[in-house]
Chains A and B, each alone.
Chain A
Amino acid sequence: MSSAMRIVNGKVYDPINKIDGETRDICIEDGRIVESIPDDASRIDAQGMVIMPGAVDIHCHIAGQKVNSGRKLMPEDHKRDPHPGTPYTRSGSGGILPSTFATGYRYATLGYTTAMEAAIPPLSSRHALEELDDTPVIDKGFYVLLGNNIFLQKLLKEGRHEEFRQAVAWWMNAAKAYTPKLVNPGGDEPWKGKRNTNVSDIDEKSNGISPRQIIEAFINAVTAMGFPTPPHIHCNNLGHSGNYLTTLETMRTAGDQRAHIAHIQFNSYGGEIGKNPSSKAAEIVEYINQHPNITCDVGQVMFGKAAIMTADAPLAYVLRGISKNKWVNADTECESGCGIVPFTYQEHVYTHTMQWAIGLELFLLSEDPWRVILSTDHPNGGSFMNYPKLVRLLMDKSFRREEIARVNQKAIAKTALNDLEREYTLNEIAIITRAGPARALGLRNKGHLGPGADADITIYDEMENKEMMFNAPRYVIKSGVPIISNHEFKNDHSGRLLHIAPEYDQKIEETIKPFFEDYYSIEFDNYPVNDSYLHDHEVISTGPLSS
């Protein structure tokens, strides 16, 4: 098969290259986008269609031990939703937590070609890498959980900041990860060790260190080492009423350095702890609008089935009391915690409606779509399969009205949602699903269609109903390979692992090793993931100059 291809007559939305709906030719050669190719190359006629870069999911949970535990916890969910194979693709099971194969193919059927798994403890990275390798079509990477790492906290308490930086770099290499993820930093250890306690304030010290010190140290270290994306932070007090103050403090801690706040909707609640939340979306968005160093993804809640899946073990413990359903809790040695609770968001419930409305408010009040990125924190706010519906909610005011009429009116009355008239344009959708996340992640070859970019392209039929439009792209091209054409799978593709390999001083291993021998269940030498687990992969460059 010739690897050159020309897409003609389509309306191109490519915000990074400032192309907003112009009709242009896109040329592909050897898996990349190029300026021009010979005229006799194969063509796709995209008359009446919209061409966008392949979408990038900046925050989802699609691999690792917690996802697998969730799969095992919910067999009834798989039974309802088999995922049949095709002559080109493998079968799997669907539901809120699809099997690896189904995950890759289902992302592709929505036009997504990159997804980042958001929380893997280093101990589970080997497992995650193997699962990601089995997730077809999409390029993927993962963030590694370091915010509750006892050894790193010990270095910070002793003020050994240079060694801390080296250790973070070592851990990124050991896990083959993309960036550090901080989940309720400083909160898991007290919960594990002191009978269901948690830190309730960013300055509250537990074991001699406060969340603010941890967050600050990570932001400083990651900035100094020039990682492509800042640490992704799941703030303290997530899910609790009144937590917007913690979120604001977390963002202030970053100063003018870059920080990414994950699923910020879950962190934008006013009110008193233990009582019903109110919306503080306006306050949060105002801060983000004024501070270009902050990026966030929304973590929109969508009504229906979901699965709470978090390294924030104390939060999962609270939620299991609400759902009164089966749940899983796990302790990951010296590194993290974990909780999984199957959950259903219901329209008539005040809190669920409030969460849904806050997410939409965040989108609609944001002045810079580049920094407020679309996500549902799959599967925490709902499956990624809800993205087309979410896009329609943002683009279609009258549809939004209809949906608002169906939910808890007491909650809606306390939000500004009814007054928000904004409708996203196709260009802005291309920003919040493609260009924005690619830029926030520092992926220079993703999220745009300029020469040199990866040939990850989605072609949609232009339709009035945006949910239908984004639900069924006519063509999906991954690395120049037409995976879906005319709505049918025509090829399979393995996708690449995206990771970083920052340099570090080998001497740091001598500092880390004794700690392993004293406290870990596995030998130090067996802990780092070796290169044989990297199949098709790409190292994203780091260093002070790359930022």
Chain B
Amino acid sequence: MSLTLSLHTLPDVPIEADVICTDKLNNVNEAALSALTIFHGKEQVMLGDFFKVQGKYDGEIRIEGDLSRIKHLGAGMSGGRIIISGNVGAHLGAGMSGGEIIVEGNAGDWIASEMIGGRVIVKGNAGHMVGGAYRGSPVGMQGGEIIIHGNARNETGNAMRHGLIVVGGNSEDFTGVSMLAGTIIVLGEMGIRSGAGMKRAPSFPCIRQKCFRHSPMLAPIILLMCESISHILKSTDYKLMMHS
């Protein structure tokens, strides 16, 4: 049985839950899991105070409930899979280098910021700064894939260096701002100033760097152009939200 965490008490203020990460839960039993410390605001509390823990980690964590106030889930993970049944808060999978996170609901800001590898799939909408660089950092996302079925907000792929971001719906302002390289595909509309401050270094000729703004009719053509999309379509249950 895979590990299941169900939120039983809605926190008043956000919880920093970077302990809920595939790398940190190997060989940890239920009691020890419940006793892991997390920060609820400035208070240190136990995971069991907010989550009901069932099962043992076997490569997959399922998390249930409204997690919109739970931050840093899966941050820094390097393998395994996290499946989130509801909404989720900010910094989901920040800095992750491998593995997969699937969100059935909506996600908050800064998801997969400064990610190095792995995959994040959000079936609802995502917030600002998808795959973005933290303030001050010269580079943001350096690899991996982020697929948003719904809409994304401002500064998607801020300072992106490598990897792929696909937004099935619309993205707001400053998509791909200060982008260095990598691919962002938006199948809907983009806001203003997409690709502002973008650089294309001639020393990286093999890296595609594109911000597409196009009508939905062109989407299939773009898909054909981008070979990595096809393997994502094969390997996930990603369904393109076509605008008809």
Contact = CB atoms under 8 A, between A and B. Distances in A.
B27 to A, nearest CB: 27
Interface in A46-78: 73-77
Interface string B129-143: 000001111100000
Contacts of A79: 134, 136
* A: interface residue count bin: under 10
A79 B134 CA distance: 9
A252 to B, nearest CB: 44
A73 B135 CA distance: 10
Contacts of B138: 76, 325
Interface string B117-155: 000000000000000001111100000000000000000
A73 B138 CA distance: 12
Contacts of B136: 73-77, 79
Contacts, number: 14
A75 B136 CA distance: 5
A486 B66 CA distance: 47
A75 B138 CA distance: 11
14 contacts: A73-B136, A74-B136, A75-B134, A75-B135, A75-B136, A76-B134, A76-B135, A76-B136, A76-B137, A76-B138, A77-B136, A79-B134, A79-B136, A325-B138
A406 B211 CA distance: 42
Interface of A: 73-77, 79, 325
Q: Which one of A73, A75, A76, A325 has the highest number of Cβ atoms from chain B below 10 Å of its Cβ?
A: A76
The 7 nearest A-B residue pairs measured at CB = A76-B136, A75-B136, A76-B137, A75-B135, A74-B136, A76-B134, A79-B134
Contacts of A75: 134-136
B114 to A, nearest CB: 10
A76 B95 CA distance: 13
A412 B138 CA distance: 32
A38 B135 CA distance: 58
A242 to B, nearest CB: 33
Interface residues of B, number: 5
B110 to A, nearest CB: 12
Given A73-B136, A75-B136, A77-B136, 11 more contacts: A74-B136, A75-B134, A75-B135, A76-B134, A76-B135, A76-B136, A76-B137, A76-B138, A79-B134, A79-B136, A325-B138
A347 B134 CA distance: 28
Contacts of B137: 76
A237 B59 CA distance: 61
A270 to B, nearest CB: 34
A487 to B, nearest CB: 24
Nearest to B133: A76
Contacts of B135: 75-76
A79 B137 CA distance: 10
A325 B139 CA distance: 12
A75 B137 CA distance: 8
A73 B136 CA distance: 7
A77 to B, nearest CB: 7
A64 B127 CA distance: 38
Contacts of B134: 75-76, 79
Contacts of A76: 134-138
B11 to A, nearest CB: 22
A79 B135 CA distance: 10
Nearest to A72: B136
Could you say which of B134, B135, B136, B137 has the most chain A C-beta atoms within 10 Å of its C-beta?
A: B136
A79 B114 CA distance: 13
A143 B136 CA distance: 30
Contacts of A325: 138
Chain B CB within 10 Å — which of A74, A75, A325 has the most? A75
A385 B5 CA distance: 42
A349 B21 CA distance: 39
A95 to B, nearest CB: 10
A74 B136 CA distance: 6
Nearest to A74: B136
Contacts of A73: 136
B139 to A, nearest CB: 10
Nearest to A73: B136
Interface string B71-99: 00000000000000000000000000000
A183 B135 CA distance: 32
Contacts of A77: 136
A77 B137 CA distance: 9
Nearest to B137: A76
B168 to A, nearest CB: 31
B130 to A, nearest CB: 19
A73 B134 CA distance: 13
A346 to B, nearest CB: 16
Nearest to A76: B136
B109 to A, nearest CB: 16
A4 B87 CA distance: 61
A343 B162 CA distance: 24
A259 to B, nearest CB: 39
Contacts of A74: 136
Interface string B142-180: 000000000000000000000000000000000000000
B86 to A, nearest CB: 28
B93 to A, nearest CB: 17
A192 B239 CA distance: 59
B15 to A, nearest CB: 18
Nearest to A77: B136
B19 to A, nearest CB: 16
Nearest to A325: B138
A256 B57 CA distance: 75
A325 B138 CA distance: 9
B98 to A, nearest CB: 21
A171 B15 CA distance: 52
Interface in B193-218: none
A278 B136 CA distance: 35
A178 B134 CA distance: 40
B155 to A, nearest CB: 16
Residue with the greatest number of chain B CB neighbours at <10 A, chosen from A74, A77, A79: A79
B183 to A, nearest CB: 24
A235 B214 CA distance: 59
B156 to A, nearest CB: 20
B72 to A, nearest CB: 13
A51 to B, nearest CB: 39
A344 B138 CA distance: 14
A315 B30 CA distance: 60
A454 to B, nearest CB: 37
